[in-house]
Amino acid sequence: MHPTARLLLALALSTVSSTTSLADVRLPKVFGDHMVLQQGKPIRVFGWADPGEEVSVALNGQTARAVGSAEGRFRVDLPAMRADGKAHALTVTGVNTITLQDVLLGEVWLCSGQSNMEWNMGGTLNSQEEIAAAEHPGIRLFNVPGHISSPTPNEDAPGTWQLCSPGSVAGFSAVGFFYGRRLHAETGVPIGLIGTNWGGTRIEPWTPPVGFDQVPELSDYRASLREVDPATTEGHAKHERHLAEVEAWLAGARQQLAAGKRYGDPPRVDNQPKGGATTIYNGMVHGLAPFSVRGAIWYQGESNAGDGLRYADLKRALVRGWRSVFEDEALSFYWVQLANFQNPSEAPAGGGWGPVREGQRLALDLPHTGMATIIDIGQANDIHPRNKQDVGERLARWALRDHYGQPDLVPCGPLYAGQSVEGAKVRVRFSQVGSGLMIGKKAGLTPTEEDPAGSLGRFAIAGADKQWHWAEARIDGDTVLVWSEAVPAPVAVRYAYESNPVGAKLYNREGLPASPFRTDRW
């Protein structure tokens, strides 16, 4: 938004709707009673204050001071603190004083994505029992309500911190809750979960501009973003049109106010860049940053299924972008690989959701990332599988290994690590083998069981002619041998490379399924 438009809006809104003095110190809504502050990292407290206004922030015997900037913002960084099991008061003092009560030190995680992350507790397996048992005062929930898209960054994100209880958890992300519940049970420290989700959304709107800037392969998005930059001629013209709309709205709002009538919402301008890129970040994430957090969990990709392997670049942009805005290059980022869905394909070359799952796997080249594979707990007839318990538990394994004192925990199922051709067979190697490979079977919420009578399905093999054939496969130590009489000189293997790979039964003995993969790059 043009700076003049922003000023007019601020003046209008303060005139017709605000009773707060312009001199009052204010905090974003992510700061509130019952909140959790991230332990072990600098605690960033930020908000609004008049230019030159002195602001002090006190917590747990520590105090820091700042002065309001020319833009009317302030920020302090308190030193890192450890979780101590105590309820603290956070005090912010300028010309007024804000005191937040029941503030805990612990672990804070962002929970974001499209509908499968937004899916609340009321729609899960055993929902009534799970909700009734969700009395966890050491878990705190902050949910960004509604679906907010904006062409420019919103400085605040709505929401309220709540203690986790049957009443508050029912509408919260089920994956987020089951993730946080496992962490709380294992660590005993307070867990803060910040949910910001929107069903049916692509990944690009969640990505800040700085994320696209860090992935050269996404130059088309960077060019699109520049088109609406007010520094460009076209972008400036769009913002000037928006300014005129704001001025007209302001005049009408004043007339309605004088007549005692309710004024309408300020205008929005349709100047969104390619695919709505950045617009949901603007509305539902920007106002949270740079709040200190441990990391993020992410469940999204169905709406980007057509992007296939390019999803790896889109994921890299999202992760790097969030790390930039949250000022933490080591921010942990764990995501869910898409579940099995739709009818199985009989084409050995695969397709459907196979390529986008491969894109999700390839993005694991980013440090401090992890992925939960769930091709064994989806539903062919429902894009929203009800088993969210296993999703949260599998994501939590990454955090438990990386942050919470369980370095030997196997975080996921086998991941493709390489291949070698041995005559007419291909030997496939894996990482995350754990205590060994097995043929497994999974039903509902029960743990995975070994299936001694089962066989490895959904392996395909091809030669230099790039013609794919279903293959036989068997476990050989920590590797899998793959072959087909139809392919005497194999060069590549694919596994579970389709939307619903029924019969894909490769697991490690920790009960975690192998990720789908392809060894070719044709």
DSSP per-residue codes, 243-271: HHHHHHHHHHHHHHHHTTPPP-PPP----
483 and 348 co-located in one domain: no
pLDDT at 422: 98
Q: Using CA atoms, how far apart are residues 123 and 302, in angstroms rounded to an integer?
A: 19
* Residue that finishes a domain, picked among 368, 403, 438: 403
Whether residue 5 is contained in a domain is answered as no
Whether residue 70 is contained in a domain is answered as yes
User: Does residue 322 register a pLDDT over 90?
Assistant: yes
- The percentage of the chain sitting over the pLDDT mark of 90, rounded to a whole number, equals 84
399 and 428 co-located in one domain: no
- The percentage of the chain sitting over the pLDDT mark of 70, rounded to a whole number, equals 86
User: Does residue 2 register a pLDDT over 90?
Assistant: no
Kindly indicate the confidence band of residue 220, based on its pLDDT and cuts at 50, 70 and 90: confident
User: Does residue 345 register a pLDDT over 50?
Assistant: yes
104 and 151 co-located in one domain: yes
The CATH code of the domain that includes 87 is 3.40.50.1110
Whether residue 396 is contained in a domain is answered as yes
103 and 199 co-located in one domain: yes
Whether residue 18 is contained in a domain is answered as no
295 and 439 co-located in one domain: no
Specify whether the CB–CB gap between 459 and 482 falls below 8 A.
yes
Q: What predicted TM-score, i.e. pTM, was given to this entire model?
A: 0.88
* 385-411: average pLDDT: 98
pLDDT at 260: 53
Q: Please give the structure tokens belonging to residue 302.
A: 């169905």
- Three-state SS across 60-73? CCEEEEEECCCCCE
497 and 389 co-located in one domain: no
Specify whether the CB–CB gap between 319 and 369 falls below 8 A.
yes
Kindly indicate the confidence band of residue 227, based on its pLDDT and cuts at 50, 70 and 90: low
380 and 438 co-located in one domain: no
Q: Using CA atoms, how far apart are residues 118 and 113, in angstroms rounded to an integer?
A: 7
* Residue that finishes a domain, picked among 403, 434, 469: 403
User: Does residue 263 register a pLDDT over 50?
Assistant: no
Other Cβ atoms less than 10 A from the Cβ of 72: the count is: 15
Whether residue 371 is contained in a domain is answered as yes
Domain hosting 343: range is: 31-218+277-403
* 223-228: average pLDDT: 70
Whether residue 178 is contained in a domain is answered as yes
* Residue that finishes a domain, picked among 352, 368, 403: 403
82 and 61 co-located in one domain: yes
User: Does residue 253 register a pLDDT over 70?
Assistant: no
395 and 439 co-located in one domain: no
Residue reference for tokens 């794919």:
468
Residue reference for tokens 């290059």:
329
Q: Using CA atoms, how far apart are residues 178 and 388, in angstroms rounded to an integer?
A: 7
pLDDT at 522: 87
Kindly indicate the confidence band of residue 4, based on its pLDDT and cuts at 50, 70 and 90: very low
* 73-83: average pLDDT: 98
Window from 91-105, 144-158, 211-225 with minimum mean pLDDT: 211-225
Distances (CA, A) of 503 to 359, 495, 496: 22, 11, 9
- Average pLDDT over the chain reads 90
User: Does residue 20 register a pLDDT over 70?
Assistant: no
**Contacts of 137 by beta carbon, 8 Å cutoff, 6+ apart:** 163, 164, 165
320 and 348 co-located in one domain: yes
Whether residue 205 is contained in a domain is answered as yes
Q: Which residue has the higher pLDDT, 250 or 25?
A: 25
User: Does residue 481 register a pLDDT over 80?
Assistant: yes
Whether residue 354 is contained in a domain is answered as yes
User: Does residue 235 register a pLDDT over 80?
Assistant: no
**Nearest 5 degrees, angle CA 118-CA 321-CA 397?**
55
pLDDT at 122: 95
Q: Please give the structure tokens belonging to residue 491.
A: 């060069």
Q: How many domains does the chain have?
A: 2
198 and 129 co-located in one domain: yes
Q: Which DSSP letter does residue 512 get?
A: -
pLDDT at 268: 46
Q: Using CA atoms, how far apart are residues 69 and 324, in angstroms rounded to an integer?
A: 22
Q: What is the pLDDT of residues 29-45, one digit of tens each?
A: 999 999 999 999 999 99
Q: CA 179, 370, 380, 127: dihedral to nearest 10 degrees? A: 0
Q: Using CA atoms, how far apart are residues 512 and 502, in angstroms rounded to an integer?
A: 16
454 and 494 co-located in one domain: yes
